[in-house]
Structure 1
């Protein structure tokens, strides 16, 4: 348990032990948690100077009840032992910087590159704590900036399609009720012969129009969410059919998808350099301007403001994937525990496993 993100409950069946009793024994006697030298300040900050390296990542995650912690990790540890450099409560710049300043300046000056998302707070933390580090903005967070406006456009069309379908349903019911009332007036009283015009059903269900693949329009806009987030070569046969139907009805969505895909291709080009990436990004900004969508323009301006840090990706092809992987492992560990009751002990476990 000192080296793996497992719980006492996971050991119950294979070792035939009582999980709750073993968990308490590990916490109070088998581990050195009670005599842990960091226990007084663990909730506020934890630093691991020996784990610092030239390539770091910084990200935030929720450990308990939505409380955010800022985590600085060593990319070269690949999410294993020695990955944690610092865990600091909250995202306030002053608090995180104060904790990182406890690491000797000589070690902090060794850091050559820090990957991160577009957070302004984290940007200030890196500038103040690692003065000689190159800041590289994560390409996947940047692609998410462009994907969000596209999905926003899809949801807009979906709401319009649902509204139109609801109006057609109301009109259908109103017309059906009118026909039913007319049929009552035409009906002869006491008629026993079943021959003649069939009676109109008052509770007849409305059947929405379906496309050639069997989807209604709202269903089409719902089921193409994933397809819009991946490259065309990853589409299956049914997804290709859906996307063809979608783009025929919504040309704006096709243009939005083209913008997102072209941005993805800029960073997927293995031969691209900082200079060629700069030229490609300028062309992409021109395409966004021609498209004229406010949300896309906002995303483009956000990227343009920090373009130098975005293009640093082409130097070492570094992303924030290691930080996201570490966050995922921490969240999976928390899920095994079914929530964190004792935050100090949870931080102790994290320091033993990843520290």
Structure 2
């Protein structure tokens, strides 16, 4: 008998492979899912104590239907195998603490730093479980609060401009005349100026294009309070870029806080109060200049994995597959 290679096409004539059946075979027989030691409680919590390192991150992510899970990750794994330390359903501090305390105390005491956002539940969990660790609030979450305050002021003025335009249109109709909105020197109407300024207010002015510079000039000329708000947000960001030590940053933060108080911008006073409440954890950034970027990056990987799986139909099996790759 001649030895002829059999192509995949010819094999396909003899073996009709059903995708759903193949998936079931993998799940039930090939994958070792049935013998997985964490299967019984995986949808509530998973724990991989061996992945604990001196530097951790804690954050939350949504798996399906907005269901939140708290994830503790090992920074030293750099988002690869060994990254997952724990995944816990929900964001309740006591639930997180109960699971994390299953990690041997000697391992928990070796943790020197945990990065996080401003969420009180995260901070309490880290304080209770990793007693020797510096709690570091991510600088980008702090800066985002300031950016949100700027956007709040912009949106307030935009609604005012829309109301003024609607009133002007109604008045023009009543008087049977044609309404012509004011057109600024860059071609924007006032409401367009406020709408199109959104992205430039997120950027440092040194990164503005010539078009954005002109738009910002017109915007700040009309709305000086928006100019002050933008300057306060940039100054807060510059503290993290320029200062080299906690002491240096503390002085600049105190000056910034005083300027916020005198600015009279209520949204920024809220930001300042949040910063004041968490300043010790914020200043811990200057120990190693650590951020929570690794946790955000890992969350993106979880979402990408969820997308390739076309959603999460079986939470336990999804977490099993996730643990095989990242734990």
User: Taking structure 2 as the reference length, what is the TM-score of the superposition?
Assistant: 0.92
2:197–2:216: 8 Å Cα contact kept in structure 1?
yes
Write the distance in 1 (CA, Å) between the matches of 2:40 and 2:205. 53
Q: Does 1:287 align with 2:259?
A: yes
Write the distance in 2 (CA, Å) between the matches of 1:220 and 1:333. 40
Write the distance in 2 (CA, Å) between the matches of 1:101 and 1:157. 49
Give the alignment partner of residue 315 of structure 1, picking from 279, 287, 294: 287
Across the aligned residues of Structure 1 and Structure 2, the Cα RMSD in angstroms comes to 1.6
Write the distance in 1 (CA, Å) between the matches of 2:155 and 2:17. 51
Write the distance in 2 (CA, Å) between the matches of 1:338 and 1:168. 50
Write the distance in 1 (CA, Å) between the matches of 2:107 and 2:326. 19
Write the distance in 1 (CA, Å) between the matches of 2:31 and 2:291. 36
For residue 8 of structure 2, what is the aligned residue in structure 1? none
Write the distance in 1 (CA, Å) between the matches of 2:26 and 2:55. 35
For residue 125 of structure 2, what is the aligned residue in structure 1? 125
Write the distance in 2 (CA, Å) between the matches of 1:209 and 1:44. 58
1:353 and 1:164, CA in 2 relative to 1: closer, same or farther beyond 3 A?
same
For residue 225 of structure 1, what is the aligned residue in structure 2? 198
Write the distance in 2 (CA, Å) between the matches of 1:252 and 1:39. 56
For residue 167 of structure 1, what is the aligned residue in structure 2? 167
Write the distance in 1 (CA, Å) between the matches of 2:225 and 2:307. 41
Gap regions ≥5 residues in structure 1: 1-15, 180-203
1:275 and 1:168, CA in 2 relative to 1: closer, same or farther beyond 3 A?
same
1:2-81 equivalence runs, <5 A: 19-81=19-81
1:39 and 1:240, CA in 2 relative to 1: closer, same or farther beyond 3 A?
same
2:229–2:265: 8 Å Cα contact kept in structure 1?
no
Write the distance in 2 (CA, Å) between the matches of 1:27 and 1:351. 14
Return the index of the structure with the highest Cα Rg.
1
Q: Does 1:248 align with 2:221?
A: yes
- How many residues are matched? 312
Give the alignment partner of residue 306 of structure 2, picking from 297, 310, 334: 334
For residue 236 of structure 1, what is the aligned residue in structure 2? 209
